Structure 1
Amino acid sequence: MKTIDMKKITAIAAFFLLVFQTSIAQQNITVEDIYTGKFRTAGLQSLRSLNNGTEYIVLNYNRDRTQTLDKYSYATGEKTGTILSSEEIGIPIYSYEMNDSENKILITSQSESIFRYSSYDKVHVYDRNTKELTPISDHLVRSAALSPDGTKVAYVFENNIYYQDLKNNTTTQVTKDGKNNELINGVTDWVNEEEFGFVRAYQWSPDSQQIAFLSFDEKEVPEFSMDVYGNDLYQYPYVFKYPKAGEKNATVKLHVYSLLSQKRKEINLNRNEEYYVARINYAPTGTLTAQVLNRHQNVLDFYYVDTAGNASIAFTEKDDAYVDVSDDLTFLQDGSFLWTSEKDNWKHIYLYDKNGKEKRQITSGEWDVTAYYGYDAKKQRIYFQSTEDGSINRGVYSISLTGKKKRKLSNKIGTNRASFSKNFTYFINTYSSATTPPVYTLHKAKDGALVREIKNNNQLKEVLKDYQFSEKEFVTIPVNGNDLNMWMMKPVDFDPKKSYPLLMFQYSGPGSQQVANSWYGANDYWHSMLANEGYIIACVDGRGTGYKGADFKKVTQKELGKYEVEDQIAAAEVLGEMDYIDASRIGIWGWSYGGFMSSNCILKGNDVFSTAIAVAPVTNWRFYDSIYTERYMTTPQENASGYDENSPINHVDKLKGKYLLIHGSADDNVHVQNTMRMIEALVQANKQFDWAIYPDKNHGIYGGNTRIHLFNKMTNFIKENL
């Protein structure tokens, strides 16, 4: 990438392969085209590698509305057999899991969503040897999991843990103190699910004789209530525990339950302050491990819990800002383990000995490991994804356990993602770029050699030939002492002698990335549509975003909405100096954190931005949840000025331009309270603005024609005001 010229942008990305002979009549896309799936990409259905490493399973949905678990050969792609069909067992197969030896299949035949990751499920177990199907509970349960030996199934029902013995068909209740909105066993509360990204808060021991689990005492956590309007005569309140920044969190405790003694033991972590348990895992030796964070989340203690229940800290990781939690943990046969850390400013892979002492840094350089794929014990090689080809790109690599003999396994610049077979013989690479829709190919893990192409999106390319698309140009733009990544779209018939309005799009949340060399998403199609109706579209990843080092990412600590907003305003000023951009017609939009940003920009940058759209925005960080907000801001009691000076609700008197505020009334994440309080502040400041509430829609604001309505509303607002 190269630095932007103040008067002229030079594109480094090639025109789409499908753009365009001027003699061919082409139509611009519509919102209806986007959200009725006309440009949907063909993908691979979720697959699971079998233990043999030469075959994988795909859950196929067939035209006769049956589902089959089918086996395929990695090498040829040919179907080698059917393991199970819904017709055979008489229930639908919504999803499935297998135990370690692959002789039992846990089948979900019904699922009702709760929050982002959680659900209530109807589950059965299928025995591949006896062909017997066993129902697990007459109720919908949560987070069912087979024991490693396949003889038992654990699950959570009404906040208590149970397990069923498949040999004698008996059910044992592990906990009895669970109670709705008071105490949860074995699954996470709302905030831990949302911010630490896990739901099942229990683990089977490797020998299937123990269950380690977390309990969440949320009796003192404040309740949040939102009305559900539905279709009945009266709406009803939906009430759940939601700790906002600085408020009381659930008290978390770690327990171990012995199946032999049928007794539970609370593990004493010897902590006197509030804490989170972000992960629990068993090592292959049977040792329980726990990743425990202080409430500020800048100290992570890695615990070992021995068989007697004694806990000790193996090592501690500290950061001036915060420590990220991940699942990048692999234990080796000698008890040592692999771990990722940003301790040298970039995220890299480290090897620790069994006592928790660092042995060596495996990867190094001014680039991030962006995905850890696993470790091949036989070849002693580690597989990972990184930004070595530049922060907007992703490549796939392997490296030896000694940190030597690194190999690049992907061969195209863009976004490469890998899915490895169990024994690391093969991997399926998913490749895309801003000019190439996803292509799925099979490669040898040893050297990345291509075995065959599995699937492409050539059919989508044919569809796109009939439409106008603007190219995505990747550049860097000098802003506030940094070269920030940016993409820009121009009309296909762009004329540098004309003057165009500019619409900026961003998200800007900590560690995020919007400027990436990958295929179009729905927002990109919409941006292209707007470009071909006479707008310049630009997206800038400012300070606080990811993949340019931890210092760049964490500079916004305790000041969310300060440096990110300064960068968007400054970038708009730089772009406004270009001959073909009308500096009096610059708009900005975003969703969630991006809505927080666009609101701040039209207020703090009221002489730069004339128009803004904020969808589901945080308008005051005091309204948002404890784990996310305090990770970056500490508490309001400790950092009142950081909260207040950068919250849009406190700057409504600065509004000059056109402002559209949108929210779903059933948003359990960013509550509609944010928008309602913003509306009241704007009204009392006597500021005119537009707003829309989508009844019973959550943070995603979708369902039926909702997205079509939403984006047509946004389109019309832009055309009328920018």
Structure 2
Amino acid sequence: MTTGQPSFPRQYARTQRFTLGAPRGYALSPDGARVVFLRSASGTDRAQRLWVLDLDEGREFTAADPLALLAGADEELSPEERARRERTREGSAGVVGYAVDEAVELAAFTLSGRLFVSELRAGTTRELPVQGPVVDPRPSPDGRRVAFVAQGGLRVVSVDGGATSDGGAAPDEESASDDGAGDTRTANTRTADRLLAAPDGPQVTWGLAEFIAAEEMGRHRGFWWSPDSDRLLAARVDESPVRRWWIADPAHPDREPVPVAYPAAGTANAVVTLALLGLDGSRTEVTWDHVRYPYLARVHWSAGGPPLLLVQSRDQRDQRYLTVDTGTGATRTVHDDEDEVWVEPFPGAPAWTPDGRLVRIADEGGARKLFVGDRPLTGAPLHVRAVLDVGEDDVLFSASGTDMKDIGVYRAWFRGSGDQGGWERVGARPFPTVSSAVRSGELVVLSQASAEWPGARVEVLRLDADGGEKTLATLASYAEEPQLTARPRFVLAGEREIPCAVLLPTGYTEADGPLPVLLDPYGGPHGQRVVAAHHAHLTSQWFADQGFAVLVADGRGTPGRSPGWEKAISRELAAVVLEDQVDALQALAESFPFDLERVAIRGWSFGGYLAALAALRRPDVFHAAVVGAPVTDLRLYDTHYQERYLGHPDEEPAVYAENSLVTDEGLSGAVEPHRPLMIVHGLADDNVVVAHALRLSAALLAAGRPHEVLPLSGVTHMTPQEQVAENLLLLQVDFLKRSLGMA
């Protein structure tokens, strides 16, 4: 190795999986003049900056540099902001997120709990003195005000620093000084913000997404501006019914444990309601059947129609699309989805077309389709994943086809030229890609990753009404290039045609003979691993270069193929996902140099659960396992996720017992011989708490099964720390080589 060059594990950790320095988080002005985005200054710089690309002048400039705004001071994050970043798996620093007004003239964001706004045409940024610490600031569509959450209350401030009420009243006395509840930075400093909704209980917040919404439903917001900028629709979250768990740090016994409101399967959820809050001080409660539909999955409010809600039943077999009467708060059902297995909320849906038609994604006839009104715009073989934008005549969406690894951006018309039906791909390449896009008017930012090149290529396109494309610019990436090249071979395995990627050591030839095999799956819901993107396979290639044939298999339960493929795991989670890993391994052994006498498996989160299943229940196939942050006692994981796949534990206890790893029924599937296991878990994990690993270890010890436990002090579910992430890979390789008898 060249002197001074870091190892791949260190480079991988230092660059946060080669994401630092790459552009992300786009907003496009409707006049087609500006593209706003985030990017750090280099491939190892964690501090994200706010950038503007002026298309008319053809230049990029920085609108907000956190180093300058904080005068070099380190960031200080509030508990609420830390929780938001954990839920979104955000590991970088600086301007990690922002929101813009309708014209994309103004951006609002936080640094160290302080509120900043950027004038995007001029590229200037200033701080607004408000109560803090600030969470999730969002400008009104007209750009005159910013709403935000502080100390659990929803507040609003004028961008010019003046009064916030429509009548021109002065700021209320509560917000004029700190009064002991706000950020000490603003103590004795008069602020111009106004409180719209205050917590009415110690476990109540306004304007924030609760744990279940953020972790499982993909809803990270808790308030929404009206199109006219005169009121907000805000979520009130009452966590008092939720059981409290305590996250302690055994490495620092002097520190108090941190309480976490965690709704484990079968227990009470937070109570989530909505209210319309006028800037004039008015409040209107939004009503629906909260007992039947306790989950608020989506909220949409645009000029195309009244506020639109997607609510779900607790068993997730029924979800309703509701419109809100903004005068009375009453709701009306405009559509109802039912499924005997489960219904699914999707990114970007529901929404309105500009002329008031409902845009949704639903499973019908064995396919996942895009609908406008009652009309399906797509059908098989497309498997629709998300709505990206709704235009005057068309819908921009992402989907995969028969080739699951190929995820494209498409447009389908619902009037005009689209009356002939069909869809077409945006930015089509002659090879598979993993693509995403953001659009405003005719302007599109298209990001495409591929196995053909490292990283992602980001282009600014102009789309015309007939589907024509013109490339206007390319956004530069400062991300580092990895010191190794991933060479996945994509294949379909067995009768079920399980999507797989196989990676062999760099320079391997048939003369080198059979290789020990390492399965490297996620293997479960929402976790597709076999994708046509180079960086997705870097860690697997590094393991291959240590002397393994690495197999990544996306069996039933993983997304991308069909509703039936995903829902095959219902009530039979353990048996189905494990069977597909075994079948893929055995089917591909005929065509790849697999030494089936030396087979290991590694995984994290659901992949850790799958790795433990493999070693305990199929030791005839698997000879060692690295079990990372596993869910082992399925009653200890959250309501929305676990009850979707296994039902309510009080109603179906046998299902939980059979699929868990630590129950008598679950361990009864463990057979001889004993196989080496390394269990790894972060002690600060508030998603899959370390109790899962400890209970597995206790059950293994009681059964006389040797194993290793690697506790990670101060580490959450993300493992973002550079040295931890590096050494974790090195320790895994050492364990696997020892366990398989490799030199």
Q: 1:203 to 1:482 in 2, by over 3 A?
A: same
Matched ranges for 1:135-534 at <5 A = 135-165=128-158, 166-168=161-163, 170=171, 171-180=193-202, 182-229=203-250, 234-260=254-280, 262-273=281-292, 275-284=294-303, 287-306=306-325, 307-326=327-346, 327-352=348-373, 358=374, 360-377=375-392, 380-388=393-401, 390-402=403-415, 403=418, 404=421, 406-412=423-429, 413-433=431-451, 437-446=455-464, 447=467, 449=469, 451=471, 454=474, 464=483, 469=485, 471-478=487-494, 481-491=495-505, 492-495=507-510, 498-521=513-536, 524-534=537-547
Counterpart of 2:255, as a letter, is Q
Q: 1:34 to 1:280 in 2, by over 3 A?
A: closer
Q: Which residue of 1 aligns with 2:614?
A: 601
2: distance between equivalents of 1:660 and 1:643? 24
Percent identity, aligned pairs only, is 22
| 8 Å CA contact 2:517, 2:550 repeated in 1 | yes
Q: 1:452 to 1:647 in 2, by over 3 A?
A: same
Q: Which residue of 2 aligns with 1:117?
A: none
| 8 Å CA contact 1:601, 1:609 repeated in 2 | yes
| 8 Å CA contact 2:284, 2:329 repeated in 1 | yes
Counterpart of 2:53, as a letter, is Y
2: distance between equivalents of 1:579 and 1:625? 39
1: distance between equivalents of 2:715 and 2:197? 35
2: distance between equivalents of 1:459 and 1:87? 19
Deviation at 1:70, TM superposition (A): 5.0
Deviation at 1:693, TM superposition (A): 0.3
Deviation at 1:576, TM superposition (A): 4.8
Deviation at 1:364, TM superposition (A): 1.5
Counterpart of 1:98, as a letter, is V
Tell me if 1:684 matches 2:705.
no
| 8 Å CA contact 1:77, 1:454 repeated in 2 | no
| 8 Å CA contact 1:600, 1:647 repeated in 2 | no
| 8 Å CA contact 1:395, 1:408 repeated in 2 | yes
Counterpart of 2:198, as a letter, is K
Could you tell me which runs of 5 or more consecutive residues in structure 2 were left unpaired when the two chains were aligned: 73-93, 165-170, 172-192
2: distance between equivalents of 1:577 and 1:88? 59
| 8 Å CA contact 1:28, 1:532 repeated in 2 | no
Q: Which residue of 2 aligns with 1:654?
A: 671
Q: 1:601 to 1:145 in 2, by over 3 A?
A: same
Deviations 1:225-268 (A, max 9, x none): 0103566x6132010110100011122222222333x2323222
Deviation at 1:605, TM superposition (A): 0.7
Instruction: Select 2:687's aligned residue among 633, 656, 669.
Output: 669
Deviation at 1:82, TM superposition (A): 6.6
Tell me if 1:56 matches 2:73.
no
- State which drifts further: 380-389 or 544-553: 380-389
Q: 1:140 to 1:585 in 2, by over 3 A?
A: same
Counterpart of 2:377, as a letter, is I
Q: Give the aligned CA root-mean-square deviation in angstroms.
A: 3.2
Instruction: Select 2:638's aligned residue among 590, 600, 625.
Output: 625
Q: 1:323 to 1:455 in 2, by over 3 A?
A: same
Q: 1:686 to 1:123 in 2, by over 3 A?
A: same
Deviations 1:669-709 (A, max 9, x none): 00000001111111111111111000111012231310111
Counterpart of 1:176, as a letter, is A
Q: Which residue of 1 aligns with 2:605?
A: 592
Q: 1:134 to 1:613 in 2, by over 3 A?
A: closer
| 8 Å CA contact 1:203, 1:282 repeated in 2 | yes
Q: Any idea what SS the aligned residue of 1:585 has? A: strand
- State which drifts further: 298-307 or 280-289: 280-289
Q: 1:135 to 1:426 in 2, by over 3 A?
A: closer
Q: Any idea what SS the aligned residue of 2:574 has? A: coil
2: distance between equivalents of 1:664 and 1:142? 26
Counterpart of 2:108, as a letter, is L
Tell me if 1:122 matches 2:114.
yes
| 8 Å CA contact 2:153, 2:205 repeated in 1 | yes
- State which drifts further: 299-308 or 428-437: 428-437
Q: Which residue of 1 aligns with 2:12?
A: 34
Deviation at 1:435, TM superposition (A): 5.2
Counterpart of 1:222, as a letter, is R
Instruction: Select 1:643's aligned residue among 640, 656, 673.
Output: 656
- State which drifts further: 318-327 or 36-45: 36-45
- State which drifts further: 632-641 or 48-57: 48-57
| 8 Å CA contact 1:187, 1:202 repeated in 2 | yes
Aligned residues: 666
- State which drifts further: 262-271 or 501-510: 262-271
| 8 Å CA contact 1:660, 1:690 repeated in 2 | yes
Q: Which residue of 1 aligns with 2:722?
A: 704
Tell me if 1:72 matches 2:48.
no
| 8 Å CA contact 2:110, 2:135 repeated in 1 | no
Deviation at 1:556, TM superposition (A): 0.7
Q: Any idea what SS the aligned residue of 1:636 has? A: coil
| 8 Å CA contact 1:374, 1:384 repeated in 2 | yes
2: distance between equivalents of 1:28 and 1:149? 49
Counterpart of 1:525, as a letter, is L
Q: 1:504 to 1:129 in 2, by over 3 A?
A: closer
2: distance between equivalents of 1:193 and 1:663? 22
Q: Any idea what SS the aligned residue of 2:367 has? A: coil
Counterpart of 1:633, as a letter, is L
| 8 Å CA contact 2:385, 2:397 repeated in 1 | yes
| 8 Å CA contact 2:230, 2:278 repeated in 1 | yes
Counterpart of 1:35, as a letter, is A
Q: Which residue of 1 aligns with 2:75?
A: none
1: distance between equivalents of 2:473 and 2:106? 32
2: distance between equivalents of 1:168 and 1:35? 47
Q: 1:310 to 1:443 in 2, by over 3 A?
A: closer
2: distance between equivalents of 1:459 and 1:287? 42
Q: 1:421 to 1:205 in 2, by over 3 A?
A: closer
Q: 1:31 to 1:67 in 2, by over 3 A?
A: closer
| 8 Å CA contact 2:292, 2:313 repeated in 1 | yes
Q: Any idea what SS the aligned residue of 2:517 has? A: strand
Q: Which has the higher contact order (CA 8 A, sep 6+)?
A: 1
Counterpart of 2:531, as a letter, is A
Q: 1:527 to 1:543 in 2, by over 3 A?
A: same
Q: 1:551 to 1:496 in 2, by over 3 A?
A: farther
| 8 Å CA contact 1:32, 1:708 repeated in 2 | yes
Q: Any idea what SS the aligned residue of 1:269 has? A: coil
Q: Which residue of 1 aligns with 2:572?
A: 559
Deviations 1:55-94 (A, max 9, x none): 3234565699999755434478434x77677799787973
- TM-score (norm: length of structure 2): 0.82
Q: Which residue of 1 aligns with 2:100?
A: 98
Counterpart of 1:321, as a letter, is V
Q: 1:549 to 1:90 in 2, by over 3 A?
A: closer
2: distance between equivalents of 1:39 and 1:410? 25
| 8 Å CA contact 1:398, 1:406 repeated in 2 | yes
2: distance between equivalents of 1:626 and 1:662? 24
Q: Any idea what SS the aligned residue of 1:485 has? A: strand
